[in-house]
Structure 1
């Protein structure tokens, strides 16, 4: 979501509070549950897990997505990849960066999903060291798209609610169906998207932890410890 490093510092300073709260947290909480794939077939394509400083996205190739997800990018020409990330609405959409808002993010707040349309591979946009590709079969591809859809607030006709243009060209904020809090962060949301794609990773709070879990899960899953691509091994 392109949040500033100041919020990362605030999270680290409040880490002890998060751990105490975590002892009595509901494991599902306000986010959609991961949609576990029902099959384990041959690799159909790849989805990318992307780290942007302390934030993470899940990215889908535009030619792989179904009609509903594809419609989210209507009006953006030459889309190659669609990236989705979760965030606290006041901070990222309304631009409220005051200490009270940052501390208030520990409690459940309205959330948003930022879609970023890329016209180049994620490795070009974010750097290969910040991208891990996860192989998915047909069931995993369908499940991760259902998870994205479940994460968006929709009207009676099933259309997502657009909040505002994103922070840069090719991005847009949508209203999220869930809420954001200290135990359900952008990275927790991405972890559930990854599980929906078929890779077993735990819920985590921080971007670096998630990227390590994804790489470890791929290393464990791949035959002879081989990684599926160069970016994943860095």
Structure 2
């Protein structure tokens, strides 16, 4: 029994150490030396809950054109009142089959803890309160913004030249699921995808951020975040 307890304690200690190191060690390990006023700023929003993060991007004509395939797939994005497109990546079974905690099922949880296919989730949204505790405004230059969009676009799996919508997969009238590139697992999941996307935009994150809390802390540690 003592050996078992020591083993459990060692695993817990290693896990906590990895989470702390993954938060405080920056990735990339250097920062951009350009003046913060050297280029125009673009702002996006990081949306967080207890286990998942999304990226909300303000709608403009270029964004609507770039992701116009969403309308063809069944989510009209050029509607009055649409202010943001919200993008997230995650495990197929858990993401699609668990819109609410009350709908949690054993099989999607098992797949999330092992390996699963991945999906993109896109939601159209109206105004989002920048001051809400679950919202983190993030600024970048235009080049970083374009790299972010390229990263998001490349996350969609395609058949020919077109991303593949998943028929009947949605939480309601304002969202849609698409097939995605990459495999999901608990160690390299939705929040590490978000971290990678933000690094493409020129932001520094922690080296490994599997949780929304560690990602938020690492962004605050390694970047000058906009005022709310």
TM-score (norm 2): 0.73
Which shifted more, 91-100 or 161-170? 91-100
Distance change (3 Å), C-alpha of 1:109 and 1:190: same
Specify the alignment match of 1:145 in structure 2: 149
Which residue of the other structure, out of 116, 127, 135, is the alignment partner of 1:120?
127
Aligned length: 190
Are the equivalent residues in 1 in contact too, given 2:53–2:212 (CA < 8 A)? yes
Match 2:181 to one of 177, 184, 190: 177
Pairing 1:51–2:56 present: no
Q: 1:141 to 1:92 in 2, by over 3 A?
A: same
Q: Is the alpha carbon distance of 1:66 and 1:48 closer, same or farther for their aligned partners in structure 2, counting shifts above 3 Å?
A: same
Distance 1:39 1:69, change over 3 A: farther
State the 1:92 CA deviation.
2.2
- Tell me which residue corresponds to 1:167: 171
CA shift, 1:188, in A, is 0.7
> Are 1:98 and 2:102 counterparts?
no
- 1:213 is aligned, of 203, 210, 218, to 218
Structure 1: runs of 5+ lacking an equivalent: 1-14, 23-33, 220-226
In 1, the alpha carbon distance for the partners of 2:67 and 2:219 equals 24
Quick one: structure 1 residues 142 and 82, their matched pair in 2 at CA, closer, same or farther if it must change by over 3 Å? same
CA RMSD of aligned residues (A): 2.9
In structure 2, stretches of 5+ residues that fail to align are 1-10, 19-27
Q: What does the per-residue CA deviation read over 1:138-161, in whole Å, with 9 as the maximum and x for residues that have no partner?
A: 1111100111011111111x2111
Q: Secondary structure at the match of 1:142?
A: helix
Q: Does structure 1 retain, via aligned residues, the 8 Å contact 2:94–2:111?
A: no
Cα distance in 2 for residues equivalent to 1:39 and 1:60: 26
CA distance in 1, matches of 2:87, 2:226: 22
Question: Cα gap change, 1:51/1:187 in structure 2, threshold over 3 Å: closer, same or farther?
Answer: same
Shift of 1:172: 0.7
